[in-house]
Structure 1
Amino acid sequence: MTIPDDLAILLSEVSADRMAATVATLASDRMAGRRVGSAGGAAARAWLITQLDAIGAAVWTEKFQVRAVPQVYEAVTATWGDANRSTRLVFGRQVAIHPASVDAAETRRSRLGVAGAHDPAGRWLVVPAEMSLFDAYQDILGAAGLLVRRAVDADGWQFTTLAGPDPGPLPVLSLDPDTHRTVLAAATGSASWFAGATPLRRDDVTGTNIHAQLRRAVPGGTELLLTAHYDGVGDHPGLRHPGASDNASGVAVVLEAARILARGLPDGVGLCVALLDGEEVGALGSAHHAAQLRDQGAAPLVVNVDGAGRSDGAAAVEAGGPAHRLLALLDQAGRHTGVPLAAGPMASDNRRYGGAGLAAVGIGAGMGGYHSPADTPDRVDPATLTAIAHLVVTTAHLTGAAPVRPSSQAGEKR
């Protein structure tokens, strides 16, 4: 499909180097993983505001409250052994704090046992892989804590989550499958023991969305809203979470698209940006913003980018709300740019906008090292950043064209 000359000029301005630099900055030590309510999140926000100011946007922020954000506040140490040996476990790989754990900073050393098989009193209970945590809770009177099995990624990391179950009655640590299997086998021996702590507090914090307006729509005209969340799961003591793919890459794409579209959109099309906080604790920033837009009677077309790290052949797309026209525009953009689209789950901020009755699509293209120390800038593919930026810029440019038919080939790999 031939690309119009004016669009070709815009696409030629997309800079992979500029986007890679944005990813590197947001994933740097200074940003400390960008957890909602943290100093690292504030540092990222201040830097992003300067970037939006530099492209001539009118910028403001909106605060919202976030309850009970889990934070590991001390380096986690855990050791197990028997009469002949002891083994210290590697935090983040072999052992991690389960989201359902209570806050217990003091190390507990106790005998090992098997949940459902041994008297729980005075024991760290290893929960068999086929037993749920709910079932394990049925017989825990006097137990020191629970040890559950948890899968690891291809790099050997347990992924970190901030949104999860309410804390239960005991310390709970998760073990990688190999360690879990070994400790479970050892738990039948009378001399086996485990020592560990779960320094995990839950803080009430303030989240902050960043908003920017670059162009105003004419009365009755199309308003485009580009969104991406800038928060991450945050660093732990002794354990970095750079958050490069998730979601420094999405922010980089939105900033690049906004920079180009600020002067390149067709007349009459409005353009706003929302860089959202609190996605990792349940997409609370977008929930706050979507409710505001609904109450105002606003109806922008929302394009959310969550993950542009490394495409596996197609960009995943999920639509919500009355998104027929937007999805058709996106499909046309895919054909213009040669970026294949595939229908796929995008459980991110786009769902909050769609749930509020707004036309919304979520776009994603890979998250290497999801929620782990392996999510580093070097794993973000410049070609993927460029492809997704091209897709967003082209979609936006097409909004100024004549209305399109509400049919789409999104989901068809081409």
Structure 2
Amino acid sequence: MKLRKELLGIVLAFSMTGIIATSANANAYQEIYDQQEKQEQKIKTLLESEFISADEQSILKNELSTFAQAKNSQNRQGLLALIAQSEEQVSQVSQSVASMEANTIQTELGQVEIQIDTLVEKSDEAFISKADQDQIKDLVEKYQTVSDTKEITPVRALADEAKTLTEAVTDNQKELISLVDTLKADNESSDTLLKKPYLSDSEKKELNQNKADNQQFFEDADVKQAVVDRQEASSKLIETISQKQAATAKDFKSYEDKAKSLINETKSLLSNGDLSDEEKTELTSAKTQLEDSLVLKDYTPGNLKTGFTDLDDQYTNAKTSSDKRIADKKKAAEAAAEAEREKQEKEQAAQAKAAEEANQASSNQTGSNQSTPSPSLVGEWYQAPDGYKFLKVESGKTYGQVKIPSNFTLITATEAQSYTPGRGNGYAKQ
């Protein structure tokens, strides 16, 4: 067996004093060195402990130094005695360190327990996510597994985890509350939007439903993604309806009054115009579409402008055709009336002439003894004698007073019944 350099030195030292260094002796010393090496490792481990006192560190370092100094001069029995002494010191220090560590474990476990109790209480608060509640439960279980530990490392690891989780739970709660505050702000925006004009019934219903969906998170929320999804949907809906409302308001500002006026004109044309069935159908359809747009039925921004333009074109064409038909019919009616008037005048003139001829014949038969009385002059008017009327032969009209008797024929009241009394004018009157 190959001896270490130090061990070889000791064997040589013993040889100089007359002690025979046999192979058995070499093996015995090797065992002592191996035993001491393990002891040194224990000492070094203890020296690294945070729970060792300064005095204990001094004792252990002295033990290391003592053995290092004696290993080249002490025999095997002396070295074994030093090792035994060292083991006793190491045992005492180990117990002291273990006791100090145990006390520290209990102290820090108590602190961890307080942290966990605080977390458990917080898990019952509003706006604590289910994920965080589950982590708190896991932490409680971990605490139970380390409550009997003899080492400080798992306790401190648990303490670090508790601290990190406490910060995370607090931050996540604040984030959830902030998201819910955004939903509350969305509801305020919805209320403002609902007060504006030009919203359809379906849009109002959507906004009110959106408010109700947001409201369910106001008291509590425990799933962050659900709140995030709700906020995204809420924000998108409000933005979409706001943009549509603004575009609709612009459309109505430009065309609402014109559309209402055109609808009234169209109704009048449908009632009083001279339209074909096709024109009536087209006008009615275009009018209905424009009326629907005014009440936001199936409305999209720009429909009012489009509907107004379509009806205006239909109205203009139909009005032009109607006016032409009415004018043509009026002209035809006037021509027919004029022809009828001329016909009546000719018939009346013929009747007057015939009456005059008959009157003349009757006068001739009456004889020279019977003469027609003369009209009397009253101011500038000639008054027909009693029982007589002045007849305007050309028009067939009779009068009671005239200015120029020579322009009229004097007939009896009986004969005048065959004619029409004339209206007064500057030369004849009743």
Normalised to the residue count of structure 2, the TM-score between the two structures is 0.22
Give the number of the structure with larger relative contact order, counting CA–CA contacts within 8 Å between residues 6 or more apart.
Answer: 1
Which of these two proteins has the greater Rg computed from alpha carbons? 2
Judging by fraction of residues, say which structure has more helix.
2
